[in-house]
């Protein structure tokens, strides 16, 4: 039965209401989430491991079902209606509550894992809930990081489905989302866990093929190098492949495709930002001040990790941990705490509802900094613009999660070649006039749009000199 409102306004002033189906699916997902909290609060006397699979399944059904009903009756095309009227997506009460809860979870994850139930003598609470899946994959009890990896992967998968339905009119968005879902599930979660189980008699070393230095900041640390060298054929392969990723594979792929091959198609940080973080992409700061802070911060982090890695390798080969006033062990400890934990985790994800979905990628990721420098000066990738078609609606700038003022370039018919651009293509997807195109071309001066732009004036359309 339709609801009749007495308003005489031609536009509907009433916020959209949830359908019965959406309420049902929200309740289903809520029950799954409730199971996690029940497990977290359970004492050691209760065996709650049987709640794991129902919990994960209910949360997945809730998100996917809710998203399906949200978009199924709407025509294909980007729907960002009401973003600035929602408490969750416009820094309202729900946004702050979500930010506090996510940030708190990351603090517990990094610094107070015992409160989550992790105990080497026997897990309890939330960590114990994930023991069955951990035993099935690698033959030993779960850790807080296994819990995190499972929930992280689930979030990318279910919100990836939601993202695909939202952008179903855009083939590029569908393919790259399927790509990050595949790499997260296979290369970041299942394969490393299975390999860990098959090599449980050997010291731990990273087995995620795509998690390369400097994002994997401990790759060259002495304990990790020793673990790989003593890890049999697999360990030696991971060492050789990791070095090849840094000096050969990554530079070649970035030359041909820009940093998007990693940041928008492969990386787990970018995968979560693009899927679960999609509702918050418009919150990124587009001001010049933010751009200045971005450049100072991200290249400072890059210098930090370069210095730390150089000193760590120096210590590894010489055995001397003291270089002038710098202690390599203290330096890498500070990097792990300040950048590896606080910046990339606590702030990088916890502040999604406040600062946007790419805080870490934009301001702190040294991997993004290296790829960005190559993209800026030695890559075929660019976003081309057709300035004559631009109507200055601002959608492109609004939904750029990296804070790039895309409209400024489009108005001038100037190609976009920015170190920070991750090539997600959302600016092109939300453009109503087809002004923007993601392209690869020769590395020359025309790549930057040094061709004469179209100038639209009051009385004429002309080509600039």
Q: Which tokens sit at 284?
A: 């990124």
Check residue 10 and give its pLDDT: 58
Q: Which tokens sit at 93?
A: 């009460």
Pure H helices in 167-287: 171-182, 191-198, 222-229, 232-244, 250-257, 260-263, 268-275
**Domain residue ranges in the chain:** 17-73+112-194, 380-463
Rounded to the nearest 5°, which phi and psi values hold at 462? Answer: -135, 165
The answer to pTM > 0.95 is: no
- Within 8 A by CB and 6+ apart from 136, the residues are none
Q: CB burial class (10 A; 0-12, 13-18, 19+) of residue 72?
A: exposed
Check residue 79 and give its pLDDT: 78
Check residue 323 and give its pLDDT: 84
**Average pLDDT of each block of 10 consecutive residues along the chain (465 residues)?**
55 68 94 92 72 94 94 82 87 94 94 91 90 94 95 97 93 95 96 93 91 93 94 94 95 94 94 94 92 94 95 92 86 92 92 94 95 92 87 92 93 89 93 89 56 48 51
The end-to-end CA distance of the chain, in Å, is: 62
- Within 8 A by CB and 6+ apart from 91, the residues are 283, 353, 354
Q: Do 228 and 202 meet the contact criterion of CB atoms below 8 Å apart?
A: no
The three-class DSSP label of residue 356 is coil
Cα 465 from Cα 459, distance rounded (Å):
18
Rounded to the nearest 5°, which phi and psi values hold at 416? Answer: -100, 110
With residue 138 as reference, give the H or E element that holds it: helix 131-138
Q: Do 166 and 68 meet the contact criterion of CB atoms below 8 Å apart?
A: no
DSSP state of 75: P
Q: Which CATH class is domain 380-463?
A: alpha beta
Cα 359 from Cα 293, distance rounded (Å):
12
Q: Which segments within 22-141 are labelled E, that is strand?
A: none
**Residue of 256, 244, 174, 179 whose CA lies nearest to 209:** 244
- Within 8 A by CB and 6+ apart from 64, the residues are 158, 161, 162
**Torsion 56-59-61-67 (CA) sign:** negative
Q: Do 339 and 217 meet the contact criterion of CB atoms below 8 Å apart?
A: yes
Rounded to the nearest 5°, which phi and psi values hold at 246? Answer: -75, -45
Cα 239 from Cα 225, distance rounded (Å):
8
Q: Do 220 and 305 meet the contact criterion of CB atoms below 8 Å apart?
A: no
Cα 397 from Cα 390, distance rounded (Å):
12
Q: Do 412 and 387 meet the contact criterion of CB atoms below 8 Å apart?
A: yes
Q: Which tokens sit at 248?
A: 């050969």
**Residue of 180, 152, 71, 189 whose CA lies nearest to 425:** 180
Q: Do 416 and 391 meet the contact criterion of CB atoms below 8 Å apart?
A: no
Cα 263 from Cα 166, distance rounded (Å):
21
Residues found in the chain: 465
Check residue 46 and give its pLDDT: 66
Check residue 456 and give its pLDDT: 44
């Amino acid at each position: 039965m339709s609801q009749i409102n007495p308003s005489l306004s031609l536009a509907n002033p009433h916020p959209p209401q949830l359908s019965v189906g959406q309420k049902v699916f929200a309740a289903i997902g809520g029950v799954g989430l409730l199971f996690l909290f029940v497990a977290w609060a359970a004492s050691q006397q209760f065996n709650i491991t049987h709640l794991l699979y129902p919990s994960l399944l209910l949360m997945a059904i809730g998100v996917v079902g809710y998203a399906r009903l949200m978009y199924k009756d709407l025509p294909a095309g980007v729907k960002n209606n009401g973003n600035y009227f929602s408490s969750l997506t416009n820094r309202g009460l729900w946004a702050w509550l979500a930010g506090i809860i996510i940030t708190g979870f990351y603090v517990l994850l990094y610094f107070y894992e015992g409160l989550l139930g992790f105990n080497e003598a026997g897990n309890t609470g939330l960590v114990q809930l994930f023991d069955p899946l951990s035993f099935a994959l690698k033959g030993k009890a779960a850790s807080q990081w296994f819990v995190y990896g499972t929930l992280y992967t689930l979030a990318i998968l279910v919100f990836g489905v939601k993202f695909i339905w939202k952008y179903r009119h855009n083939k590029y968005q569908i393919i790259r989302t399927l790509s990050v879902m595949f790499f997260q599930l296979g290369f970041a979660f299942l394969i490393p866990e299975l390999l860990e189980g098959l090599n449980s008699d050997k010291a731990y070393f990273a087995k995620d093929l795509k998690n390369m230095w400097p994002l994997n900041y401990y790759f060259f640390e002495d304990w990790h190098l020793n673990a790989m060298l003593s890890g049999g054929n697999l360990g030696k392969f991971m060492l050789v492949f990791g070095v090849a990723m840094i000096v050969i594979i990554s530079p070649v792929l970035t030359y041909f495709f820009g940093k998007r091959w990693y940041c928008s198609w492969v990386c787990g940080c970018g995968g979560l930002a693009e899927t679960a973080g999609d509702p918050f992409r418009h919150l990124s700061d587009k001001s010049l001040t933010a751009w200045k802070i971005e450049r100072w911060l991200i290249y400072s982090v890059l210098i930090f990790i370069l210095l730390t890695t150089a000193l760590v390798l120096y210590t590894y080969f010489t055995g001397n941990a003291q270089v002038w006033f710098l202690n390599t062990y203290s330096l890498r400890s500070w990097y792990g705490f300040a950048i590896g934990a606080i910046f990339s985790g606590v702030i990088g994800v916890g502040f999604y509802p406040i600062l946007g979905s790419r805080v870490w990628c934009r301001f702190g990721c040294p991997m993004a900094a290296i790829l960005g420098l190559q993209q800026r000066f030695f890559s075929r990738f660019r976003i081309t613009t057709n300035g004559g078609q631009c109507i200055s609606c601002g959608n492109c700038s609004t939904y750029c999660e990296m804070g790039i003022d895309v409209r400024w370039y489009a108005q001038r018919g100037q190609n976009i070649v920015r170190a920070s651009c991750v090539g997600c293509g959302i600016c092109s997807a939300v453009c109503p006039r087809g002004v923007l195109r993601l392209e690869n071309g020769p590395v020359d001066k025309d790549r930057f749009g040094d061709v004469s732009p179209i100038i639209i004036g009051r009385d004429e359309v002309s080509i600039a000199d």
